[in-house]
Copies of this chain bind each other. A is one copy, B any other.
Amino acid sequence: MGALKNKMQEHRKTRGFSQEKLAQTLGVSRQTIISIEKGRYKPSLPLAMIIAEIFDTRVEDIFILEEEDYK
């Protein structure tokens, strides 16, 4: 139950994406974007990697593990 912080919203706004547009680009629902940004759940590994790819950066630069964040 540790925390997994993320800079999704930050990166998204910097790139001028709406949640809707980002969702379409990623091939997921808008709900998924909202939930990830709000920290309601953590993206799957492939999704996280595609996000990093689209934002032209690394996974670790968007998602940050806090302490022991098992599972």
Contact = CB atoms under 8 A, between A and B. Distances in A.
Nearest to A43: B45
How many copies of the shown chain assemble into the complex?
Answer: 2
Chain A interface size, under 10 / 10 to 19 / 20 to 34 / 35 or more: 20 to 34
Interface in A27-71: 27-28, 42-50, 52-53, 58-60, 63, 65, 68-71
Given A59-B49, A63-B45, A70 B27 contact: yes
A4 interface: yes
Contacts of A69: 46, 49-50
Contacts of A49: 59-60, 63, 65, 69
Nearest to A32: B71
